[in-house]
Chains A and B, each alone.
Chain A
Amino acid sequence: MRTHLGLVMLCVMSAAGVCSSTSAPESPRQFDCRSREKETFSCWWEPGSDGGLPTEYRLFYEIEKGVRECPDYVSAGENSCFFDKRHTSFWAEYIMMVVATNALGNASAQFQIPDVMNYVKPDPPVNVTVVVNSSAPSPFLEIRWKSPPNVDVRTGWVTPKYELRVKQNDSKEWKVIDIGAQTFFNFHNVEHGLLYMVQVRCNLDYGKWSEWSNTIFAKIPKHHQLEKYFWIFVFVFSLIPLLTAMYILVLKRKVVKQCLLPPVPGPKIKGVDVHLLKSGQSEDVVNALTGNQNFPPMAAWTEQVEDFLLVSDSDEWLLTDTFASEEKKDIFIIPASLHLGLEIQCGDSTVDLNTWEKTDDSKEETKSNFLNTEPINLPIEKQECLSGEEVSIQPNTSYVDIQQRPTLTDYSRVKEVNGDTILILNEEEIPHGSDAVKVKREVSVPDDYSRVKEVNSDVVFLEKGDSKPIMPHDSELSKGFCSKMIANGYVDSVPSFSVK
């Protein structure tokens, strides 16, 4: 029984010992302070073990002279001490002592704060705004913020400096920019369609940096779709009239050409009236063009002409040999009905002479003019006078068709070919017109060929000479022709005229 009681006592006593194993508190550990605005500061400590008993912590500080206790244990939270403005001194050393006390004892620790300024760490900036400025030429971020509200910037006692960082949403690296003391910044390195994150922080007097502010997001809009469509719209609509104009130009290029490049008017000759040319006298025109030059007188020209043609329609001429021989003129005998229808309508006589000149060919040999059957282009040919008007010698019913010559392609018409003579033509009509010459005569070809004037392909022309003319047996005259041979004559195979 006694042993039982002793055991029980031991048990009770041991139980009491386990329940009250308290001890004095351990000294606090870790000590840190912070000033958020360079006006007040707070300190915190980490308590040690409390020894199982409620422990009281007290802070005592010594600054320059005297020991004081912490003025405020509450404002900064547990295990803290808050020093308000009146209790805050900068550039002064604080010696802090924290004492932990409980029922069983106490413990303390000392901390040295040489300069509270070393513990200045402000709050982050507030009211950070990021606005996307989309003005040309490229967008940028307008970043604005404000200093922490508890920092007093108006006195100059504290100067906050800022730092900002920007990052693309899906990028890993921040772009950090040192701002200085201003509270705004324009960030230009942005691209369309991307999302950006912005943060700002600050420090006071080159102290510790604050925490980064809240992240502000900003998205750069993509290129304005509406604006794009608008300009496409305008472009297309402005193309339509342009294309239409081009189309018209291409189709009606002739008209356009005429409009833009009118035909060049004809040349204008000074002194010459266009209307005059059309209707006026060619004399005036020529005068105008040639400048009233004096051409050599007609007489001069006529001198060249050794002979002139006497044209008569009477038979008297034929009978007088002497006259003809003396005169030695070539007489063109033209039947009455024939008149030289040389109605040259040119008013210029020189023209007539010119035309006549053509008929005289080898004048140098003889003074006689043969009318050769060489086609004189006079009657037929249309000559253009200077006036520009065509001259056409009107072929009358009976004109000298010199052109027509007896073409002896058809040798059937040759009646007789004598040794000395060549009989030309026969009585058959020459197919050319009704005015064909139908003279046949017998011409003897002299031995002296010197008198041969011309050798035509079909006929032989003999010049006027001493050869006896052989009177044709018959001289059949065509209707309008007279071909009387003159005794003094000569071989003239030209049926149309008898030339002396």
Chain B
Amino acid sequence: IFFYPGTVKMHMAVYLVAMCRAVPVNDLLDRASQRSDKMHSLSTLLTQEMDSHFPPYGRMQMPRPADCHTSILQTPNDKEQALQVSESDLMSLARSLLRGWVDPLAVLSTNAITLPHPAKSSISSKIQELQEHSKSLADGLDILSGKMGPAAQTISFLPYTGGTDLGQDRVTILNKFNFLLSCLRRDSHKIDSFLKVLRCRAAKLQPELC
């Protein structure tokens, strides 16, 4: 996926800003964090559902998180680091991660239907729901970022190179599926954490929100 040229984006952002001036930023951030919370809940359930019928990896065989396609993106890894990142950067990181999962989610969705797993229908429905939330959140963050600094407009490109086919044999397919879900869970957690930090920081006048 190639993101839009910066100028077009700027124009769109200005237009959207003009339209959405009425809704306050706090309210938008609140809605965004609610959606990211839901996304993380779904991804957590997916991994748990996967593990219920699939034996966990051996300690040596477990794919490493560094192998996730989004690991190239530098993100804060603890609380102190996260609290030091600017709002715009946080927004940018969240949007980049979100954008990076559009393709892999599609791959997961198509492969879930034929997944050699007893809970494949439940998994498939959850992935579809995830896709909807992801799309909706991305649109909302696009509007929000328009109200923030120029850094918020920057989106890092995180291509997925895993291909549409997960494998030939059952074990390979399940392993890859499981690995992708774990990467998804990690990234949904990041997005959720960053947006919640953003929300709290924006609501300094209303400490009861946090």
CA–CA, A183 to B66, complex, Å? 37
Let me know if A205 is at the binding interface, CB within 8 A: yes
Check B186 against A155 for contact (C-beta < 8 Å): no
Number of interface residues of B (CB under 8 A): 31
Let me know if B75 is at the binding interface, CB within 8 A: yes
CA–CA, A301 to B95, complex, Å? 134
Let me know if B147 is at the binding interface, CB within 8 A: no
Residue from B41, B77, B80 in contact with A92 in the complex, judged by beta carbons closer than 8 Å: B77
Let me know if A157 is at the binding interface, CB within 8 A: yes
Stretch at the interface among A82-90, A193-201, A312-320, A355-363: A82-90
Let me know if A156 is at the binding interface, CB within 8 A: yes
Let me know if B169 is at the binding interface, CB within 8 A: no
Least Cβ–Cβ distance between A150 and chain B, in angstroms = 12
Known: A85-B78, A90-B77, A155-B83. A206 touches B41 (CB 8 A): yes
Check B66 against A93 for contact (C-beta < 8 Å): yes
Which residues of A are found within 8 Å of B21, using beta-carbon distances? none
CA–CA, A85 to B60, complex, Å? 27
CA–CA, A92 to B197, complex, Å? 20
Check B59 against A112 for contact (C-beta < 8 Å): yes
Least Cβ–Cβ distance between B199 and chain A, in angstroms = 6
Contact with B along A393-419 (1 / 0, CB 8 A): 000000000000000000000000000
Let me know if B92 is at the binding interface, CB within 8 A: no
Check B78 against A93 for contact (C-beta < 8 Å): no
Which residues of A are found within 8 Å of B192, using beta-carbon distances? 205
Check B207 against A154 for contact (C-beta < 8 Å): yes
Let me know if A114 is at the binding interface, CB within 8 A: yes
Which of B44, B189, B198 is packed against the most chain A CB atoms within 10 Å? B189
CA–CA, A482 to B201, complex, Å? 150
Check A112 against B189 for contact (C-beta < 8 Å): no
CA–CA, A157 to B196, complex, Å? 7
Check A117 against B78 for contact (C-beta < 8 Å): no
On chain A, which size bracket covers the interface?
20 to 34
Known: A38-B79, A154-B200, A157-B79. A91 touches B65 (CB 8 A): yes
Which residues of B are found within 8 Å of A38, using beta-carbon distances? 79
Let me know if A111 is at the binding interface, CB within 8 A: yes
Least Cβ–Cβ distance between A81 and chain B, in angstroms = 17
Let me know if A153 is at the binding interface, CB within 8 A: yes
Check B65 against A156 for contact (C-beta < 8 Å): no
Check B189 against A205 for contact (C-beta < 8 Å): yes
Check A153 against B210 for contact (C-beta < 8 Å): yes
Least Cβ–Cβ distance between A85 and chain B, in angstroms = 7
Which residues of A are found within 8 Å of B37, using beta-carbon distances? 159
Could you list 22 A-B pairs, sorted by A, with CB under 8 Å?
A: A85-B79, A88-B78, A89-B77, A90-B78, A91-B65, A91-B75, A93-B65, A111-B59, A112-B62, A115-B186, A117-B186, A117-B189, A154-B200, A155-B197, A155-B200, A156-B196, A156-B197, A156-B210, A157-B82, A157-B197, A205-B40, A205-B192
- Chain A interface residues toward B at CB < 8 A: 38-39, 85, 88-93, 110-112, 114-115, 117, 152-159, 205-206
